[in-house]
Chains A and B, each alone.
Chain A
Amino acid sequence: MTSYYPLAGILETRFDINITGAMPLKLPDNWINILKERDFCHANTKRGVRRLLDGRRLLLTHFKKYGWIYGGAFILLASANVIFAFFPSVLQRFADAYEAKELTRQAIVDYSLLLLGIGIAYGVLFGFGQYLNHRMGRIFEYNTRQRLFRHFTRLSEQYYSKNGTGKLLSYVMNDVTSVRESIANGVNQLTNASVLLVSVVVMMSLSELPLQLVFVCVLPLLTIPFLVVYFGPRIRDRSRQVQESLAEMTESAEEQFGGIRVTKTFAVEDIAEQRFGGTVEHIKDNQLKLVKMTSAFQALIPFAGALSLVVAITYGGYMTIQGQLSIGHFVALTFYLRMIMNPLQQIGNVINTMQRARASLERLNNLLGIKPDIQDHEQAAELPPGAGDVRIHNLSFAYPDSWQPSLSGIDLQVAQGHTLGIIGKTGSGKTTLVKLLLRVYDPPEGSVFIGGEDITRLSLESLRTQIAYVPQDGFLFSTTIRDNIAFFKRDIADDNVEHAAKLAEVYDNVIGFDKRFETQLGERGLTLSGGQRQRTSLARGLIKDAPILILDDSVSAVDAMTETSILGNLRSARKDKTTIIIAHRISAVKHADEIVVMDEGRIIERGTHQELIRQRGHYAALFAIQEEGVSHG
């Protein structure tokens, strides 16, 4: 099987370690740094990666779709700036009229109205243009998040096991936002700056200003884009360091608060404070380093502007006094110079934003380009409804990126209506087996059959609809208890929900809450205990009443008495249906029609409870440990 995300593979080959196998994890000391290099992603590696889209695809689709709106925005912004460029020339004519003693009351009124008109037209046109651009940016953000979420639902567990939620969230938050900002602000500022710059230069050359004067004055300003390009990446580097030290402190706080009981128990608060304080000081140092860069930058830009005004005042002033330049032109020159300082700075900014956004864009495109590794076969068949017999034939399986097989030579047959129990140590392959049944990972072709069909040839939908799976962790969503139980079909009747809750022995707990089944869970609601969570999750699986039910150590946090009644309920509710129970405790499986004991990916013993006890093998030994009391008592 090819891996679409070979990080583990790279770590393995580079550092001679094994990540996914059964061996204990040995990571190099600097592994976290390796992971932190965010650009270190699947794109640049040879093995097993398919980049379906090139770096600009996402943006191209967007611009193609909304091209005409961007055209409109451009026209609005451009006309706004062209109009604005007339501002100094109006003042120039005003000053020249004054100097020539031709100023009349009417002329003053006209000039004022002209300025007013320019001001309002600029504000309105610019406002609309700006809004259109930002609106497009937000729509891009919306569409991209939508696509990402849909894409996330297709990615397999293999991907999730290697990419933490934090990283995926950062795609949706930081990367999308950074691309959005750069296209909204980028288009705005670029249009603005370029049009204004061109208009001002055109106006200056049309206005009889001596070219050598214009040139000498503008010279210092031309350093601005270079300053921006020089400082931009350096500032970004240092600000990344600040971000990283912030993250370091956050991690430290999380770790220390999470371990507060340990800290208190061993009375090592002082050491905890010292360690945390170290991360705080680190941020401070990095911030001060950053501010040296940013403040130098912030001081130099206006300085360049001031230099060009120094030239204008001295050289331009000298020429005016010599009579080579009218006062009006001198006035206009100073305003023109002030006007183009901003666009020059913006051009530099745009270059920097674009640079930053490019990395984000590439990450997004790469992410969207990952092909889900579990997909329907081209001629996928539907699993006949009700089919519940499972046959596993000589199944061997190794996780991608692992050379050690997790399962080898598994042969199993569960007839419709039977119950299979699976017992084994952590890491013996029990859960892997279940994951293959559900096609969380694809089993090799021709090894797993349900209803006589090879499951790799079945549509995922029909397969997963007919299997009810109850995981160990009892993950629940922050919604009502009802919606959690009725997860497979949110509009199912209340009776079914209550029935399932009764089967899972959680009904009594639920009706004890004020809002009963409408009780909100999670973030803004109630927190259930571990056992209650597991039983709610069990109800969520049972309500499906599916032909095949898989319990993956699903009652481990439930006390012995409740466990017994749940198992009793199960036996009667699933009389004609197939049930697979995975457990640590023998009590959970001993009534099964067949029990298999797994160790290191193989079935080492099989039989009914009594047969296995008689074999005096692993099962019997385990039984003796777990139920020690019997022999002693």
Chain B
Amino acid sequence: MAKPGDNRQEEEINPNYQVDSATRRKAFRAMLGYAKPQRLVFLGVFFCAILAISADLLQPYLVKVVIDDNMLGDQGAGRVIGLGLIYLLLAVISMIFTYLQANLLQRAGQSIVAALRKDLFSHIAKQSMSFFDRHAIGSLVTNESSDTETINQFFTQVLLSIVRDGLSLIMIIGFMFLLDVQLALYCLVLLPLIAIIAVAFRKMLRNSYQRARTQLSRTIAFLAENLSGMSLIQSFHQEKEQVSRFSQRNRKYLKESLREVRATVIFNRSFDILGNLSVAFVVYLGGMAVFNSALEFGVLYAFISYIRQFFQPINQITQQWNTLQSTLVSVERLWRIFSVEPEVRNPKPEQAKELGLERVRGQVDFNHIRFAYSDDRDVLRDLELHIKPGEFVGIVGTTGAGKSSLVNLLARFYDVRKGSIQIDGIDIRQLKLESLHRIVGLVQQEPYLYSGSIIDNVRLFDESIDRDTVIEACRMVGAEQMIKRLKKGYDTLLTERGSGLSAGERQLISFARILVYQPRILILDEATANLDSHTERLIQQALNVVSVGRTTLVIAHRLSTVQQADRIIVMRSGGIIEQGSHKELLQQNGYYADLYHHATRGTAAGQ
């Protein structure tokens, strides 16, 4: 789903979407930076290309020699065989270098793209959570897969075409001049004509291409959504209505795609006709020259061949147009991602402080913090909270009170706007992100599992953590029974998002992670919501195990989850309004007591 700041839609909807050329140039230059380490390879490709096209380009010239010197001239038949052998040799060279060139180029292109993909990945992984709020994962994945792939196509197709076809073009023109300057000059009249046609069609082609693509992506988006919502469509009996809505989009796409086909056909055939026209033109001009004995017949033959060959590379180059277009778009998209600096950054070396994991006591201080996701509305206002080492703190309040924001700040998914958060008296902004994250562990409402074995899911693929540690952790959180029921036990492969396990079972695995990684401060963000009561009890037991000896913050939807906490923090619209133990809070007869009674009132009435 698109979020603010994601401009992909705009690009696809508006065919005239333009980014100012300065940005475009900058972006393009940045991408070319990736090509720099490969420049020797590119030089190699260039030389290969020259040799690869040699046979094709020299053939008319050789035939010309045969015609003029051997057939019309007095050179013997023996030389014909010699020329044939030369051509054979050229053909072999051409074959070898065509092969080499393609392999070299692909190697260079792939190295560039691999580097780009890895850099992009680590750049994205470095971003703070606010980045992920603004960018949908789907669109990041597109950046990572399609956009980089387009850049690969640029290097392997567009660049190849420019080098190979450009060289062909230059060499053809060179041969023409070598053969006859006057006729060559006449032929060059074609160049402006070609330029005019190309420019005239350029816009038309690009527009029709963009418009067809926009319609296609709309159709597909509609389809994808309807497939996911099919059960709803059926249970509301809206099949006909949705079919007709699909029809509208499909029809629009048909219209635009036909327009695109027309544009392409007209463009290609115009070039064809122009090519044949110029052959006729050369035959006329050259024929007259031959007639006046100003030109050898073989030269005319070569000219006819060359002028026919002349259009092939031009055609090839123009076919790269669409690829070049999408490359530019992709480069811009990638540039937009690359130019985002992570909002949460490691401390500067001179300010960094060390806090060894084993020495952490687990005292947490929120000092007058203020925080907002966007500029308009504060989520936390001047909040003050001090937690003792090893304390078990429950946080309650309605949705939007700022509970999750509070713990997100402690994990530095975001940075505070004002005030500071300290662990054992050290501002967390002075800690390296890595060591902070080793200290603070978080269990979320939706446990996230990777595709991989249970062992790997618990140790998060860190092979330096041995099997026994993992098994011990699973045993302690009470997951062992569940895992043993699986056919392959700890080696059972889980699928993405852990389908095949119930919500509670997945949550148990994420609890086991805590015991493996041993953070000193533990946060549970609604980790027991959405579970049925039976599983919740299992989880509660696991919680009792993992919270031992740790500073623990538990955010809960249901008050019953945190009743046993040392202290309960009651939050409302970005601030703490009450705190104390369950009993104390009930005695205060304030907001907490209200919430509590509300949750239980119905029951009392029922009884």
Contacts and interface: CB of A to CB of B under 8 A. Distances in A.
Nearest to B448: A259
Given A146-B250, A291-B102, A629-B559, A152 B145 contact: no
Q: Most chain-A Cβ atoms within 10 A of its Cβ — which of B239, B438, B495?
A: B239
A253 interface: yes
B114 interface: yes
Contacts of B55: 302, 306
A115 B241 contact: no
Interface string A233-256: 000000000000010011101111
B297 A258 contact: no
Given A255-B450, A327-B67, A522-B1, 18 more contacts: A119-B276, A122-B272, A149-B226, A157-B230, A165-B224, A172-B220, A250-B141, A262-B444, A263-B125, A264-B411, A264-B413, A268-B461, A281-B114, A299-B99, A331-B67, A471-B232, A488-B238, A524-B9
A142 interface: yes
B359 to A, nearest CB: 17
B77 interface: yes
Contact of A584 (B81, B227, B273, B532): B532
B323 interface: no
A453 B279 CA distance: 81
Contacts of B71: 317, 320-321, 327, 330
Contacts of A377: none
20 contacts: A27-B500, A91-B304, A131-B261, A134-B265, A138-B258, A145-B250, A149-B243, A153-B242, A153-B243, A155-B230, A160-B230, A249-B117, A259-B448, A260-B129, A263-B125, A265-B440, A273-B125, A475-B232, A540-B236, A627-B600
A318 B99 contact: no
A257 B140 contact: yes
Contact residues of B: prevailing secondary structure: helix
A202 B469 CA distance: 81
Contacts of A46: none
Contacts of B462: 268, 271
A24 B486 contact: yes
B125 A331 contact: no
Given A135-B258, A154-B239, A253 B62 contact: no
Contact of A561 (B103, B266, B503, B598): B598
A331 B236 CA distance: 73
A267 B280 contact: no
B430 interface: no
B63 A313 contact: yes
B434 A126 contact: no
Nearest to A325: B71
A52 interface: no
Contacts of A330: 67, 71
A116 B276 contact: yes
Interface string B287-308: 1101100000100010011000
Given A131-B261, A426-B503, A119 B102 contact: no
Interface stretch (A361-369, A414-422, A460-468, A495-503): A460-468
A526 B172 CA distance: 58
A587 interface: yes
Contact residues of A: prevailing secondary structure: helix
Contacts of B125: 256, 260, 263, 269, 272-273
Interface residues of A, number: 160
Given A116-B277, A138-B258, A559-B398, A464 B236 contact: yes
A464 B228 CA distance: 19
Contact of A250 (B2, B144, B288, B485): B144
A108 B103 contact: no
Nearest to B89: A310
Interface residues of B, number: 171
A334 B125 CA distance: 60
Contact of A309 (B59, B301, B486): B59
B9 A256 contact: no
B161 to A, nearest CB: 13
Contacts of B277: 116, 119-120
A118 B276 contact: yes
Q: Most chain-A Cβ atoms within 10 A of its Cβ — which of B126, B297, B563, B606?
A: B606
A477 B141 CA distance: 22
B541 interface: no
A106 to B, nearest CB: 11
Given A268-B460, A487-B236, A627 B261 contact: no
Nearest to B275: A119
A322 B77 contact: yes
Interface in A29-54: 29, 32
A246 B147 CA distance: 12
Contacts of A334: 63, 305
Nearest to B140: A257
B227 A246 contact: no
Contacts of A296: 99
Q: Most chain-B Cβ atoms within 10 A of its Cβ — which of A17, A142, A273, A277?
A: A142
A219 interface: no
